[in-house]
Homo-oligomer: A and B are copies of this chain.
Amino acid sequence: MKQFEYVEGGVTAAQGFRACGVAAGIKHKDRKDLALVVADAPTAVAAVYTTNKVAAAPVQIDRERTRSGQAQAVVVNSGCANACTGETGLQDAREMARLTGEALGIDEQLVLVCSTGVIGALLPMERIAAGIKEAAGALSPTGGSDAAHAIMTTDTVDKQVAVELEIDGKTVMIGGMCKGSGMIEPNMATMLGFITTDAAVHHKALDQALREAVEVSFNRVVVDGDRSTNDTVILMASGVAGNETLTPYHSQWQYFVDALKTVCLELGKKMVMDGEGATKFVTVRVRGARTVQDAQVAARAIAKSALVKTSWFGLDPNWGRVIAAVGYSGAEVDDQKAQIYYGDICAYDQGRVADKALLTAMQDVMRKRAFEVTVDLHLGEGEDTIYTCDLSYDYVKINAEYTT
């Protein structure tokens, strides 16, 4: 049973948070590119970072700072990733935090920093400094939407989700925003996610909840199979809702975790829907795999295959490319046992190919904005699901023209 309701809003849906987005002129003129998310007081914090061995300067700073389990503000810029920028980059990231702490009158150690954009460029620190000052004066308990716009890069729409639930008879909100449309894949890539809640949560429990949620959401999203230097998801819990502090021993712990998973999953789906040039949202399910690990590698191989993705764009139920992807994924597969479905229609059934008459029905499935491709390997109980999109002309256009 669902224990939460969707509501309007993003990072300022929860009580105790203010946010804003301003145009600091980092890469483009007159485009919001600097965001603040600020809690009224220090909060519990948890974060998950990229697994890329090349980690941007802000990621290196935040990894240190979130170990304390406490934070009060996040400053985010788009237009420049501050990655591969060496010692200067680290200094700049620390300076962004110091400037933010100064402008807000809070301890700079409680400020986290995120950057997204082009790799290898130094931050324009004068404009950043001016932007932070302006942003500190623009904070608002309804500023979530401005912040969500300011963190966008090649995103075509802002991405926000919020839910409401009840814990200990108190109303609890969980809301978030994210950016990301290319380079998105399991283990996250060029994505930034910020989630706030007014629930009271022990910071170690918060960390556990976030890891569980990321695993079934952001880590299940594949656009093009790349992973970035800057990926970060930060979750802050203000405790203003007044519930008893949540830990896994609280009777309503699972309600909180499920609601958090939903926020993360819906944000992840919004990234797929906004995948660069995407025209289709495709849910890839693998079941009947020998192991869960097999299901995972098979689903990822399908979702990452350029040949499979172009066939979706072309409304071509080319199950041959799907089974070929499973075949090289490393998963066990016997083509005489496997079944492949487009929606509910079986395209390939244990050695038998669907009647030509079903081709139109399969193309009708694929004509929808969202559809499912299911592979049943009939070798065991392993299951996995990945969310992804097709590969279109516009993917090439966007990424060929997005310049260094």
CB contact between A395 and one of B310, B320, B403, B404 (< 8 Å): that residue: B310
- CB-CB under 8 A from A399, the residues of chain B are 306-307, 310-311, 314
Q: Report the bound CA distance from A332 to B53 in whole Å.
A: 7
- Verify B183–A84 contact, CB threshold 8 A: no
B320 & A84 in contact (Cβ 8 Å cutoff): yes
Q: How many identical subunits does the complex contain? A: 2
Q: Are B314 and A400 in contact (CB under 8 A)?
A: yes
Interface size of A in residues (CB-CB distance below 8 Å): 67
Q: At the interface with chain B, which of A129-137, A210-218, A322-330? A: A322-330
Q: Interface residues of A: mostly helix, strand, loop or mixed?
A: loop
Tell yes or no: A138 within 8 A of B by CB.
Answer: no
Contact indicator A323/B84 (Cβ below 8 Å): yes
Contact A348 B120 (CB under 8 A): yes
Write the A327-354 contact mask toward B (1 if CB under 8 angstroms, else 0).
Answer: 1100111011000000000001001110
Residue of B nearest to A319 (CB): B120
Report how far A51 CA is from B330 CA in the complex, Å: 10
Query: A85-B351, A310-B400, A313-B400 are contacts. A226–B328 as well, Cβ < 8 Å?
Result: yes
Is A397 an interface position by the 8 A CB rule? yes
CB distance from A123 to the nearest CB of B (A): 13
Is A10 on the interface with B (CB-CB < 8 A)?
no
Residue of B nearest to A350 (CB): B86
The answer to whether B54 and A313 touch across the interface, beta carbons within 8 angstroms, is no
Q: How far is the CB of A228 from chain B (nearest CB, A)?
A: 6
